[in-house]
Structure 1
Amino acid sequence: MLAKELISDVVPALKTSDTGLDAINWMEVFRVSHLPIVNNKAFLGIISDVDIYDLNKANEPLGNHPLSYAKPYVLEYQHIYDVIELASRLQLTVVPVLDANEDYLGLITQQQLLQRFADLIAAHTPGGIVELELQLRDYSLSEIARLVEDADAKILSLYVSQMMEGDRYSIAIKLNRTDLEPVLTAFDRYGYSVKTTYVGNDSHDETVKRNYDSLMKYLSM
């Protein structure tokens, strides 16, 4: 999933001749806190509602406003992971997209990013979640996939995160079935440590659900 596939065809860019009040009005309409400033196809930077409030001159053209962000953007061929990283690191509600010549193509909204990310991790697809805990040297995707498929299940999504201990990792696996017993039996037989499972409203431990809900809440801020 590339940046160019996520571009909004609704949210406009601003011009340097637009005023701070114009920008605030558009931000309220589209429920964002940032908008790009573009003259013709030249991307000049991003202005935030905080920039406008700090200057306290809402009728001044945007060309007279200092910008707290330089020129954050992604290129059209970059992956959604790059878009998420930039939006998360700078806490942006929109991410500008440029072509190879660095001409402005459009922007990606936080809402679109959240929806596409949910699709990416199969959040809307029914199924159970199994979270394993292991050392990275013991991590073998091919073996995990084989055990899951031998238990008549399929992996819909999988992500790896490092735990606080530093040398241990958490592997969260979204499966296409809610009856997890055959999969859990297979993991147990091969010595895998199952940290938690989650199936609908019936969970042994809701850690995975809380982590997912926290991520969704953060991305929608």
Structure 2
Amino acid sequence: MSIESYVINDVKIQDISQSIAHFQTLFNELTLSHIPIKEKNKFIGCIAENDIRCFEANKKLTDYRYAIEYFSTHPEEHWLDCYTAFAKNNANIIPVVTKNTQTYLGYIELHDILDMFYNTSFLHEPGAIIIIEKGIKDYSFSEICQIVESGQNKILGAIVNKLSNDTAQITIKLSPEGINEILQNFRRYNYKIISSHQEDAFLENLKDRSKYLDKYLNI
């Protein structure tokens, strides 16, 4: 899904020749983390409120050109790519510009992207969460889908949430039926189950055997 319909243009792009006092006043009136900047009618980046607060009010932004950060997106960009840009730049807005001419079109806000994420089946639909782990070279999403769907279940979403050393950790959300069978199927395919589940008969069996062994050794 592209972000085109979420572009807001109620904040005008500001020229780099403006005074620091002008930007300080703007930030007093807005709740934005950054303001888009232009030079010779071309978008050149953003200035952060945290930086503006540290600058001398009687100077111009041209005196602090080094503080301008370049980040932007395009109307055709997928919202997930924008989500990454928000996190990377510690911003609550991302300017939207045309690809070829870098013409400023407006901006998108973080809360709109979060709303889009919330409305995905991964968060919005009720279901069960399973966290699994396997070697980076050994797992595949086609195999994961096959394991889940072989138990007459449906995947509502999946995220690779951790890559460390040679292993990948994947969070899966699926419809809640037949969780125990799916957990056992993952183990048969050498996936390690990281999350805990009341339905997990495998762990219950291990606990029972451990108790039996302790009782036997204490005889």
Instruction: Quote the Cα distance in structure 1 between the aligned partners of 2:177 and 2:114.
Output: 24
- The structure with the larger Rg is 2
* TM-score of the two chains, using structure 2 as the length reference: 0.73
Q: Which runs of no fewer than 5 residues in structure 1 stay unpaired? A: 205-221
Q: Call closer, same or farther: CA 1:20–1:112 in 2, change over 3 Å.
A: same
* Secondary structure of 1:92's aligned partner: coil
Q: How many residues align?
A: 194
Determine the structure 1 residue equivalent to 2:206. Answer: none
Q: Secondary structure at the match of 2:54?
A: helix
Label 1:146 to 1:53 Cα distance change in 2 as closer, same or farther (>3 A).
same
Cα distance in 2, alignment partners of residues 35 and 163 from structure 1: 34
Where in structure 2 are the equivalents of 1:29-48 lying within 5 Å?
Answer: 31-38=31-38, 42-48=42-48
Shift of 1:104: 1.0
AA partner of residue 87 (structure 1) = F
Normalised by the length of structure 1, the TM-score is 0.73
Long gaps (5+) in structure 2: 204-219
- Distance of 1:146 and 1:154 partners within structure 2: 10
Where 2:14 maps in the other structure, the secondary structure is coil
Q: Which runs of 4+ in 1 moved over 6 A?
A: none
SS of the residue 1:123 aligns to: helix
Cα deviations by residue, 1:50-90 (Å, 9 ceiling, x for unpaired): 22211141x76766664623332122223233322322222
Q: 1:64 to 1:71 in 2, by over 3 A?
A: same
Distance 2:178 2:66 in 1: 53
SS, match of residue 75 in structure 1: coil
RMSD over equivalenced CA pairs, Å: 3.0
Q: For 1:73, what is the secondary structure of its paired residue?
A: coil
Partner Cα distance (1:126, 1:176) in 2: 7
Task: Write out per-residue CA displacement over residues 134-182 of structure 1, whole angstroms, 9 at most, x where no aligned residue.
Answer: 0122212222112211212111111124443x10111111113266223
Does the CA-based 8 Å contact 2:151-2:178 persist in structure 1?
no
> Is contact 1:3-1:97 (8 Å) kept?
no
Secondary structure of 1:122's match? helix
Deviations 1:101-159 (A, max 9, x none): 21111111121222223334621221111111101222122221122112121111111
Asked whether 1:24 is paired with 2:4, we answer no
